[in-house]
């Protein structure tokens, strides 16, 4: 690869842009009392640890598109108004209950991500056990935007069985609490529990669920997820498989993403790393198809395909320079599965299939109809394996301060 291309990569990996370049978002609520956000995003469950990995998430510079940005800002404002109308109550099983933070009794932390922590919570008024994602309102516009985007997408995706269901939200001066259906755990943590490959039949069902969820997002809401990875795929002991975390999802304009936003380097498609015109991103949903392919290789082999890389930069360089990962022939995967993964990991995004084409693939067709006991498998794994050690080091403090307000 020539020098010029290296230069392009370096520019794209440079730190966050100047504030003036970012999307403006102001939460019209009282001052944030929460101070700056804790280091949760840095200590989020890692899918694979590089010896000295600089950052899990990349904040790619946002290009200056004043028009796109002002439209985006207006949309964010509108979103906020809509969401504010829906806060302060939870709607569970068709019933609407007024709710405030003191109605939420924490039963422990179950995860953490880029925007905050997720807790298992008992809703005092009804006894329902649910998941609550707490996001601090730091005043950081990018984070606020993620909070709103996540809420907006889950609230409107109530009719998709492959997307995590939201019961509502509670907004305080310092935090946003998003109440969701409680799932068992994510595919990332399952992989860590098993310390080996996840069976093809489970991944077959997972593929059907995730492709369906992504297609739903695109067709129904014109949204691209942009952060498809094992930690955003949730499973439970009923055998359900659902997509979560829409914090960095983006609206599609003419089926293309017009903003860059953040993303997880490890799963990022080549066309997002090295776009033809870096000042004008216009990748489409096929970027998520690539991320799904990387996730499938990781879960099917039990190993992240770029695991030997020391930095995100090294991963990105390999994604651009090397042949795409594939399922090893030695592991006896079906030809269908191998071919499906190969299609997802087509380096040239113009040749990579979109969802409708993927849904016609024999791998998906097979798993759409095949009966697989995902529930039994999930329960057996949870019973026979130990929970991976949490990377959180302040969860006790979090628990005390959070729910005793
Ligand atoms: P963030 O938006 O901050 O990145 P996520 O939504 O990705 O947070 O959640 C972080 C982790 O919390 C997930 O990887 C998963 O392990 C756990 N989690 C999230 N939502 C749920 C849920 N509804 N039920 C069970 N676990 C969940």
Q: Can you spell out the DSSP letters for 88-117? A: SEEEETTEEEE--GGGEEEEEEEEE-SSEE
Indicate yes or no: pTM above 0.95: no
DSSP class of residue 63 equals: P
Answer yes or no: are the C-beta atoms of 123 and 132 closer than 8 Å. Answer: no
**Of 132, 104, 103, which Cα lies nearest the Cα of 118?**
132
Answer yes or no: are the C-beta atoms of 269 and 290 closer than 8 Å. Answer: yes
C-beta of 263 in contact with ligand 1 (< 6 A): no
d(CA 105, CA 122): 5
CA of 370 to the centre of ligand 1 (A): 28
d(CA 133, CA 173): 16
Is residue 227 annotated as part of the catalytic site, yes or no? yes
The pLDDT value given to residue 325 = 97
Q: Give every CB contact of residue 260 below 8 A, 6+ residues apart in sequence.
A: 60, 61, 62, 63, 272, 281
Tens digit of each residue's pLDDT, the chain (405 residues): 332 222 223 223 333 333 333 222 122 222 233 333 333 332 333 344 443 333 344 444 444 445 555 666 666 667 667 777 778 899 999 999 999 999 999 999 998 877 778 999 999 999 999 999 998 877 677 777 777 888 888 888 999 999 999 999 998 888 889 999 999 999 999 999 999 999 999 999 999 999 999 999 999 999 888 889 999 999 999 999 999 988 777 666 656 665 655 668 889 998 888 776 666 666 788 999 999 999 999 999 999 999 889 888 899 999 999 999 999 999 999 999 999 999 999 999 999 999 999 999 999 999 999 999 999 999 999 998 877 654 433 333 332 333 332
CA of 232 to the centre of ligand 1 (A): 7
Find tokens 């990579």 and name the residue.
352
CA of 50 to the centre of ligand 1 (A): 22
Answer yes or no: are the C-beta atoms of 202 and 377 closer than 8 Å. Answer: yes
The pLDDT value given to residue 26 = 24
Q: Whose CA is nearest to atom 9 of ligand 1?
A: 113
**Of 116, 137, 163, 152, which Cα lies nearest the Cα of 34?**
137
What would the pLDDT profile of 148-192 be if each residue is shown by its tens digit? Answer: 888 888 888 999 999 999 999 998 888 889 999 999 999 999 999
Most informative mutation of 38, 130, 133 for ligand 1 (most atoms within 8 A of CB): 133
Q: Give every CB contact of residue 243 below 8 A, 6+ residues apart in sequence.
A: 162, 163, 164, 209, 210, 213, 214, 225, 228, 232, 233, 234
C-beta of 213 in contact with ligand 1 (< 6 A): no
Find tokens 């109605």 and name the residue.
103
The pLDDT value given to residue 260 = 58
C-beta of 249 in contact with ligand 1 (< 6 A): no
C-beta of 344 in contact with ligand 1 (< 6 A): no
d(CA 124, CA 144): 28
C-beta of 13 in contact with ligand 1 (< 6 A): no
Q: Which atom of ligand 1 lies closest to the CA of 112? A: 10
Q: Which atom of ligand 1 lies closest to the CA of 40? A: 3
CA of 13 to the centre of ligand 1 (A): 26
The pLDDT value given to residue 224 = 86
C-beta of 269 in contact with ligand 1 (< 6 A): no
For residue 19, how many other CB atoms are within 10 A of its CB? 10
C-beta of 40 in contact with ligand 1 (< 6 A): no
For residue 395, how many other CB atoms are within 10 A of its CB? 18
Regarding beta strands 185-186 and 233-235, do their DSSP bridges make them parallel or antiparallel, or are they unpaired? Answer: antiparallel
């Amino acid at each position: 690869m020539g020098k010029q291309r290296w230069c392009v990569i370096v520019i794209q990996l440079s730190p966050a842009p100047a504030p003036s370049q970012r999307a403006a978002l102001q939460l019209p609520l009282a001052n944030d009392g929460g101070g700056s956000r804790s280091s949760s995003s840095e200590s989020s469950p890692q899918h694979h640890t590089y010896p000295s990995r600089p950052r899990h998430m990349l904040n790619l510079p946002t290009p200056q598109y004043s028009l796109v940005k002002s439209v985006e800002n207006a949309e964010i404002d509108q979103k906020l108004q809509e969401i504010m109308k829906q806060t302060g109550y939870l709607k569970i099983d068709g019933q609407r209950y007024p709710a405030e933070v003191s109605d939420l009794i924490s039963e422990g932390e179950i995860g953490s991500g880029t925007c905050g922590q997720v807790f298992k919570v008992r809703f005092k008024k009804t006894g329902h056990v649910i998941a609550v994602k707490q996001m601090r309102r730091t005043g950081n516009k990018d984070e606020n935007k993620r909070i709103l985007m996540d809420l907006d997408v889950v609230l409107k995706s109530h009719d998709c069985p492959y997307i995590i269901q939201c019961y509502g939200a509670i907004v305080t001066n310092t935090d946003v609490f998003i109440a969701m259906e409680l799932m068992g755990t994510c595919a990332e943590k399952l992989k860590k529990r098993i310390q080996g490959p996840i069976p093809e039949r489970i991944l077959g069902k997972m593929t059907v669920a995730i492709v369906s969820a992504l297609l739903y997002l695109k067709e129904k809401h014109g949204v691209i997820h942009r952060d498809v990875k094992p930690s955003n795929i949730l499973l439970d002991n009923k055998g359900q498989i659902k997509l979560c975390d829409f914090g960095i999802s983006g609206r599609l304009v003419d089926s293309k993403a017009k903003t860059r936003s953040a993303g997880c380097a490890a799963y990022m498609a080549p066309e997002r790393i090295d776009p033809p015109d870096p000042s004008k991103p216009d990748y489409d949903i096929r970027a998520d198809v690539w991320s799904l392919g990387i996730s499938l290789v990781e879960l099917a082999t039990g190993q992240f395909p770029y695991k030997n890389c020391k930095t995100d930069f090294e991963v990105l360089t390999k994604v651009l320079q090397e042949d795409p990962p594939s399922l090893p022939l030695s592991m006896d995967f079906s030809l269908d599965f191998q071919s499906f993964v190969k299609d997802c990991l087509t380096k040239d995004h113009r040749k990579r299939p979109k969802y409708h084409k993927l849904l016609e693939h024999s791998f998906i067709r097979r798993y759409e109809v095949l009966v697989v006991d995902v529930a039994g498998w999930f329960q057996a794994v949870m019973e026979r394996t130990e929970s991976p050690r949490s990377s959180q080091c302040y969860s006790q403090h979090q628990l005390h301060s959070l729910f005793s307000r």
